[in-house]
């Protein structure tokens, strides 16, 4: 795989968005991710995501280009009804997705929780051994419709890079004090 060719195909929109992920036919590569989550230690749920254009370019530029790796990657929760689109960016994510930023009607952390992966020797990387955890705060109930990964830890922040986003098939409904665990896995496979 030539990273310059992949970056050029991304810029020229020479790819296909499929249910499984983003497919680059010229290189035969499928980029896909999935969020996994659970409430109060219950059963894990898994939802496929969209690795957005901005995220793909970032991953290529950091891994094979000259872009420095950011200080961290962070998970955000949102309550909007809009499905993620390939053209979503960190600059428009908070508004188009209705990011949950309140500490009293959201989650108690002042910042987005950090995604902390372990190095991999396979085609995927995740934080399953160290999932992000937040405590929900609400006066009645809180509805979360999806999750995203960004390079900025600021709730509602519009700088940095949006890596991916996922609208859950079924919204998660929380009560005050619920503990929510969130993970993310990113994979690249030869199709």
Domain boundaries, the chain: 3-190
> What stretch of H or E contains 180?
strand 179-190
Residue 187, strand partner residues:
32, 124
Dihedral sign for Cα atoms in the order 119, 122, 123, 128 = negative
On the CB side of 151, how many CA atoms lie within 13 Å of its CA?
A: 18
Total residue length of the chain? 191
- Taking each helix axis from N to C end, the angle separating 53-64 and 3-11, rounded to the nearest 10 degrees, works out to 160
Q: Once rounded to an integer, what is the mean pLDDT over residues 143-167?
A: 97
With a cut of 80, say whether residue 20 has pLDDT above it.
no
Q: What is the pLDDT of residues 94-136, one digit of tens each?
A: 999 999 999 999 999 999 999 999 999 988 999 999 999 999 9
pTM beyond 0.85: the answer is yes
């Amino acid at each position: 795989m030539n990273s310059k060719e992949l970056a050029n195909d991304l810029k020229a929109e020479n790819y296909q968005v499929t249910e499984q992920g983003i497919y680059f036919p010229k290189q035969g590569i499928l980029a896909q991710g999935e969020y996994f989550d659970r409430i109060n230690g219950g059963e894990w749920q898994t939802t496929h995501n969209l690795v957005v254009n901005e995220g793909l370019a970032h991953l290529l530029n950091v891994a094979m280009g000259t872009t420095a790796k950011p200080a961290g990657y962070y998970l955000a929760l949102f309550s909007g009804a809009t499905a993620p689109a390939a053209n979503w960016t960190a600059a428009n994510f908070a508004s188009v997705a209705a990011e949950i930023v309140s500490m009293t009607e959201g989650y108690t952390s002042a910042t987005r929780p950090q995604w902390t992966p372990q190095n991999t020797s396979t085609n995927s990387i995740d934080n399953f051994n160290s999932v992000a955890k937040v405590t929900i705060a609400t006066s009645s109930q809180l509805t979360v419709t999806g999750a995203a990964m960004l390079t900025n830890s600021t709730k509602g922040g519009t700088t940095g890079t949006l890596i991916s986003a996922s609208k859950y098939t079924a919204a998660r409904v929380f009560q005050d004090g619920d503990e929510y665990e969130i993970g993310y896995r990113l994979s690249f496979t030869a199709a």
